[in-house]
């Protein structure tokens, strides 16, 4: 993996470079303390993962993260800062970052977070290859109902939806996609429900109820502990962070409606995370 580090403190840059190299996580292809030129350097070097400080002079980390998302080859962003303000951390996630790490830097925490992001990148690449294979071969889709594994059920458990009827339907669809090498752009939920159920409308309703229940539970976790590991991991992967935040505001009575869910996003990302 290729890394790029942005921080106005040269000592922090050296520490992060040392963690990456000593943990055999990849190669640091560039670093800078100049926030103005950082994104243009990334566009040339094309790193896979970027580590940036939030409180940068001239161009702060949030503005930089938004600009990074517009690059043709957009790297994953890990933000590292001494900021503990929940509103600022929320804005950081809304800008498209994968993880937020609090300073002072903890070597083990940084290495673990980077490993998680690398794992996600590798799974996304694998999933894309599988999708390309399917498009080339045009294999006939066959209904499958085998349990895709304990890991997906573990995610259900963390979200508190293990007992929901819709989780069985999610497992069936996940296995269906895996067995038929379907990429995230190769399916419509209604079509798959029609292939897998005699009552596709009821199946889709069960899916929505289960996934929405997970959103509610995740929002409550975030209200109790914004830095909870489950909240951080799933609020910007299985769900869109803005909708999780909307659900949190709804629970607090600050909104008249909660966040929305996407069956498609949930299923394609739970396969990546499994």
Number of domains in the chain: 2
> pLDDT digit string (tens) for 78-98?
999 988 888 889 899 999 999
| pTM, two decimal places | 0.56
Whether 78 and 102 have beta carbons less than 8 Å apart is answered as no
Residues linked to residue 254 through DSSP beta bridges, in sequence order: none
Mean pLDDT (the chain) is: 87
Length of the chain counted residue by residue: 274
Strand-by-strand arrangement of the 76-81 sheet: 27-32, 2-6, 49-53, 76-81, 99-102
Whether 146 and 175 have beta carbons less than 8 Å apart is answered as yes
- In sequence order, the 6+-apart residues with CB closer than 8 A to the CB of 224 are none
Which residue among 87, 121, 155 closes a domain?
121
Residues 263 and 269: their CA atoms lie apart, in Å, by 10
> pLDDT digit string (tens) for 109-165?
999 999 989 988 887 777 666 655 655 554 444 344 444 567 899 999 999 999 899
- 162 and 71 together in one domain: no
131 assigned to some structural domain: no
Residue range of the domain that includes 255: 139-273
- 116 and 145 together in one domain: no
């Amino acid at each position: 993996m290729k890394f790029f580090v942005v921080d106005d403190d040269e000592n922090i840059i050296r520490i992060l470079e040392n963690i990456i190299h000593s943990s055999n996580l990849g190669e640091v292809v560039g670093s800078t303390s100049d926030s103005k030129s950082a994104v243009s350097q990334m566009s040339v070097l094309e790193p896979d993962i970027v580590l940036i400080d939030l409180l940068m002079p001239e161009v702060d980390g949030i503005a930089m993260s938004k600009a990074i998302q517009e690059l043709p080859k957009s790297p994953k962003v890990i933000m590292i800062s001494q900021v503990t303000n929940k509103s600022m951390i929320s804005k950081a996630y809304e800008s498209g970052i994968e993880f937020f790490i609090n300073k002072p830097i903890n070597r083990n925490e940084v290495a673990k977070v980077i490993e998680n992001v690398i794992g996600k990148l590798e799974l996304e690449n694998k999933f894309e290859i599988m999708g390309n294979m399917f498009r080339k071969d045009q294999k006939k889709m066959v209904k499958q109902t085998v349990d895709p594994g304990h890991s997906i059920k573990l995610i259900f458990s963390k979200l508190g939806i293990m007992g929901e009827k819709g989780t069985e339907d999610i497992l069936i669809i996940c296995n269906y996609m895996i067995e038929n090498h379907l990429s995230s752009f190769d399916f419509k939920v209604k079509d798959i429900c029609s292939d897998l159920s005699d009552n596709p409308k009821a199946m889709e309703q069960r899916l929505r109820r289960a996934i929405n229940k997970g959103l509610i539970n995740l929002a409550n976790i975030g209200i109790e502990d914004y830095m909870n590991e489950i909240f951080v991991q799933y609020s910007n992967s299985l769900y869109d962070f803005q909708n999780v935040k909307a659900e949190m505001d709804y629970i607090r009575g600050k909104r008249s409606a909660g966040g929305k869910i996407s069956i498609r996003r949930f299923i394609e990302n739970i396969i990546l995370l499994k």
